[in-house]
Structure 1
Amino acid sequence: MADNPKRIDCDVLVVGGGINGAGIARDASGRGLRVLLCEKDDLAQHTSSASSKLIHGGLRYLEQYHFGLVRKALAEREVLLKSGPHIMHPLRFIMPHTAGQRPAWLIRMGLFLYDHLARRDFLPGSEALSLQGHPAGAPLQPRFARAFAYSDAWVDDARLVVLAAVDARERGANVLTRTRCTGLAREPQRWIATLQGPDGELRVHARCLVNAAGPWAAGFLGTATGKPGAARPLRLVKGSHIVLPRLFEHDSAYILQQPDGRIVFAIPYEGRFTLVGTTDIDYQGDLDRVAIDAAEIDYLCAAVNRAFAQPVAPNDVVWTYAGVRPLIGEEGATASSASRDYRLETNLDGAPLLSVFGGKVTTFRKLAEQAVDWIAPALGRRVPGWTDKACLPGGDLFGRQPSARSVLEFEAWTRTRQQQYAGLAPALVARYARAYGTRLGAMLGHRRSRADLGEEIVPGLFEVEADWLVKQEWAQTADDILWRRTKLGLHIPPGTERRLEIWLAARRGLPLPAA
């Protein structure tokens, strides 16, 4: 398919460039379908970059009897780890325990289920800990004498979306960011869609439409079917996070039980920081302007102060983010207990239509597989799923097949890259390895010294990387690069992002941005 003609014919038009849209575009492209994905903003700009950055079964969902969701998520956990060992890694969780919290027998039973609901190939099982003399006990208040530990995993959520989109493009998909679907007409055998992007209007003829618009999905379904309000409404729940200076030195995370029955995570983040979240609040505001509020910051700081010896206050917060999760509505459920499972709704009243409701990062691959299992036969193409045996771009450390070895030996693989690029700072090579995996070689080419990397646009960001992100990963703005493709926004001095804005404008031949 051409990059951006006035008209494109395709098999599948995917509307929405979050994790589910990118995952479906990837899976469908790999099955030989002609795919176009459009996203009105940047990839992962909204909900999919505002998660807790976890690949997990959801231990707390066991209390709500969501055993099917937990089993499905646990099964996916190691599949994903093996496919993207650069942007994901195992993470040990510590649950401090004291009187007044969930009883120890209940936690043991829950952890036993968590260990055994799905097969574990290499993640260690749960255990009880004495915190006296244990590194996990050092930053906690003395009242915590014991804890429980279990395994889950961490993910760079925004990079996961981008890499899924990269994989889709390399398998033939056309990915258009900052391109809004402004009109739809349905015929018996095709959809006629009008897209509005940076280069003007585009007409798309698609045999199938996928509505993966996340929080906007219910409204978009009404537009697609011509029946506004016909879709069962989604429950929109805001989840907010704060980033604090590092609260502890070790590399495990904490799961903190709260008096209201909710849990809050405290997760090592970007070396110098701790990520704390999340809140769960019903949301009815502007979906394009989601932000944490003062009460949420107070709630998360209070959660930290109930557990850690060193108190924190709102003025210690160095960064915040918030996203709206589109959850499947349940009668009587609270915002925190509403199901994180997904629902795929199909419609054959004309050309095929599939809408995605709900979901979570951990189950994106399975969701996409099930979606394309319906789409492909509907379009006359019966090709089995393939993504459970495929690496994400850069994840093929030791061959094309996903492997536990890639997860277990990632640090050793990184040390080899540091030796290979001995003229570059080891920390820089380690960051490149985490972000790009095996593709760091394609990005760096024959560059072996700092001088080879070009101008240091902002601290830690050299021209070679910025150019790669623009050419290969759809980055157009400073925020795209500093907060989604990388997390360098946390590490640079305030105000220096303007240097990147000026560089990007010059590279794209645009007027300099206003100061």
Structure 2
Amino acid sequence: MTEPRHTIDCDVLVVGGGINGAGIARDAAGRGLSVVLCERDDLAAHTSSASTKLIHGGLRYLEYYEFGLVRKALLEREVLLRSAPHIMRPLRFVMPHARGQRPAWMIRAGLLLYDSLARRELLPASSGIALRRHSAGQPLKPEFTRGFVYSDGWVDDARLVVLNAIDAAERGATILTRTTCLSARREGERWQALLDKPDCGRIQVNARYLVNAAGPWTAAFLQSAVPQARPRPLRLIKGSHIVVPRLFAHDYAYIFQHPDGRIVFAIPYEQDYTLIGTTDLDYQGDPGQVAITPDETSYLCELASYYFAAPVMPADVVWSYAGVRPLVEDEAADAKAVTRDYRLEVDSDGAPLLSVFGGKITTFRKLSEEAVDLVARALENRHGSWTADACLPGGDLFGAAPQNRAVLEFGGWLREQQLRYGWLPTALVARYARAYGTRMHTLLAGREAPGAMGEEIAAGLYEAEVDYLRRYEWARSAQDILWRRTKLGLHLLPGATGRLRDWLDAHPLHKP
């Protein structure tokens, strides 16, 4: 066996660079613990960039009496919105009422319950609407005359993961992307893990605590680290989405119910598009190879066409993606009914190991807080929780503390940046503001004219931004840049990916 070239001693080793792993690393580093996070691919390369991109309580989970989960998620919505108003925003959802669904009075009662389960300062309450007199009714078929509107939120899921990793790193954590954990075994009171990072060789990590946040691979990793363990079974649920040219001009989103009970959303996306999803199907294959099927595309198109006046056809799809959600097996007969709650399990037979099972993006911060509470107790760390009152990187529009005004006055703050950087196109400044928040000042530091942005590698993608993403956000490939750090891949002409790939090859990153 090749001897490790580097050795790192730390308090906590986190395996998995999705939203839960990044959130746990951030919380632990903020409590003064020394942290190493390893991810075998890019940050958010799998499940955490394949969500419906919602910060929501989960209205439909009320149907399954998941009141605790819904309340937990509803409490988190505004905490998250305040922490990162640049990558999150409030969103109003329209639910058309169709024949054969529950009576309107019952739906209204459910929405009133949804409103009342958690305090709201930013999100308006639900109400009934007459679709023929409402802008959201215009794209729908005329037979839909009555509906309801309620509030939740939208998030750039991949950037949420990256911001947690940035915050963790700035608080002292070591973030190792494209680094595989080859093995982990107990050695006395520590875990000894062997990592493989191709650009620097083998790394041995000696950690007092191991956190298994490997998403769909959690059970497999637990089995490899503790062969005698009987991991809690995970139920892998596949969710697929399609993106089509924008179907409506307003800023509302839609929630549509299929007769089979499944829910599909239609959401304004990237200015020019509509995002439609998701499916809920049991999945048995390799989570790393998940992809949408023609049947799923047809299903999403047919359901959207049931509601929209203009039919949605598979030929309209400009992009699609699929992900596997690792949910806790609860013996539910239907995939859509499987709980989205999480469970944290500690194996303390020797050096402690925490495994994360299940969860949803809305509750990642709370999950991370509860996980690090367990870690801190075992390591006798008394710092206490802190993330509820902290901004994520770039979210400090009006100061370090999260504020309602950062959400409510984001438009005004954006206009100030467009004036400040008036030498750049206003649309480009808007994109920077929404992606990077106050960190756009780091991206643009020392630049005062378009020529200072460097080469325009693709339309609207300058050398300055690529350099920022590689230096501060662990972006390495064209895929990282065009589809996770940004969504420019949707907007660029064919051939842009190849040009960016060639540019990256010609300009190797020189690490400090």
- Superposition TM-score, scaled by structure 2 size: 0.98
What is the CA–CA distance in structure 2 between the aligned matches of 1:102 and 1:249, rounded to whole Å? 29
Q: Contact 1:422–1:448 at 8 Å: present in 2 too? A: no
Partner AA of 1:306 in structure 2? Y
1:436 shift after superposition: 0.4
Once the two structures are superposed, what CA deviation does each residue of 1:251-274 show, in whole Å capped at 9, x if it has no partner?
010000111111100000000000
* Matches for 1:88-237 after TM superposition, within 5 Å: 88-198=88-198, 199-227=200-228, 230-237=230-237
Q: Is residue 2:288 matched to residue 1:264?
A: no
Say which SS state the counterpart of residue 62 (structure 2) adopts: helix
Matches within 5 A, 1:421-432: 421-432=421-432
Post-superposition offset of 1:451: 1.8
- Give the AA of the match of 1:99: R
Within 2, Cα distance between the matches of 1:487 and 1:332? 35
Residues 244 and 317, structure 2, Cα contact 8 Å, conserved in 1: yes
The C-alpha deviation readout for 1:392-417, integer Å capped at 9, x for no partner, is 00000011100100000001000000
Distance (Å, rounded) in 2 between the aligned partners of 1:102 and 1:437 = 42
The equivalent of 2:388 in structure 1 is: 388
CA contact (8 A) 2:470 2:476 kept: yes
Report the AA paired with residue 40 of structure 1: R
Partner of 1:339: 339
Q: Which runs of 5+ in 1 are unaligned?
A: 511-515
Cα distance in 2 for partners of 1:109, 1:115 equals 10
Alpha-carbon distance in 2 for matches of 1:153, 1:394: 18
Secondary structure of 2:289's match? Answer: coil
Aligned partner letter, 2:61: Y
Match of 2:365 in 1: 365
3-state SS of the aligned residue for 2:287? Answer: coil
Contact 2:470 2:509 in 1 (8 A): no
Q: Distance in 1 between matches of 2:270 and 2:497?
A: 18
In 2, the alpha carbon distance for the partners of 1:271 and 1:381 equals 46
Equivalent runs, 1:205-354 vs 2, <5 Å: 205-227=206-228, 230-354=230-354
Using the aligned pairs only, state the percent identity: 65
Task: For 1:385, give the aligned amino acid.
Answer: S
- 1:210-262 per-position Cα deviation (integer Å, ceiling 9, x unaligned): 0000000011111111236x112100000000000000000010000111111
Equivalence for 1:513: none
Count of equivalent residues: 506
Q: Cα distance, 1:508 vs. partner? A: 1.2
Q: Shift of residue 134 of structure 1?
A: 1.3
Matching residue's letter, 1:179: T
Root-mean-square deviation (CA, aligned residues, Å) is 1.1
CA distance in 2, matches of 1:509, 1:153: 36
Q: TM-score normalized by structure 1? A: 0.97
User: 2:400 aligned with 1:408, yes or no?
Assistant: no
Kindly state the Cα deviation for residue 509 of structure 1 after the two structures are TM-superposed. 6.8
Structure 2 CA distance for aligned equivalents of residues 298 and 451 of structure 1: 47
Measure the CA separation in 2 of the matches of 1:333 and 1:180. 35
Deviation string 1:280-307 (CA, Å, 9 cap, x unpaired) is 0000111111100011000000011000
Output the amino acid matched with 1:79: V
In 2, the alpha carbon distance for the partners of 1:433 and 1:445 equals 14
What is the aligned partner in structure 2 of residue 485 from structure 1? 485
Q: Deviations over 1:366-388 (max 9, x none)?
A: 00000000101101112210000
Q: Measure, in 2, the Cα distance between the counterparts of 1:449 and 1:260.
A: 56
Partner Cα distance (1:496, 1:59) in 2: 40
The letter of the residue matching 2:422 is: A
SS of residue matched to 1:288: helix
The more displaced of 132-141 and 330-339 is 330-339
What letter corresponds to residue 210 of structure 1 in structure 2?
A: V
Does structure 1 retain, via aligned residues, the 8 Å contact 2:238–2:279? yes
> Quick check: 1:14–1:212 contact (8 Å CA) kept in 2?
yes
* 2:23 is aligned with 1:43: no
Distance 1:227 1:428 in 2: 54
Displacement of 1:11 in angstroms is: 0.3
1:86 counterpart residue number: 86
8 Å contact kept, 1:237–1:324: yes
**Superposition deviation, residue 502 in structure 1:** 1.0
Q: Is the 8 A contact 2:262 2:280 kept in 1?
A: no
In the TM superposition, residue 447 of structure 1 has moved relative to its aligned partner by 1.7
The change in CA–CA distance for 1:509 and 1:414 in structure 2 (over 3 A counts) is: closer
The aligned amino acid for 2:446 is H
Distance in 2, Cα, partners of 1:218 & 1:397: 40
* Residues 67-123 of structure 1: CA deviation (Å, up to 9, x unaligned): 000000000000000000000000000001122112211211110111010110121
Deviation of 1:494 (Å): 1.4
Structure 1 counterpart SS, 2:288: coil
Measured in 2, the distance between the counterparts of 1:215 and 1:473 equals 24
SS of 2:335 mapped into structure 1: coil
Question: Is the deviation greater in 99-108 or in 462-471?
Answer: 99-108
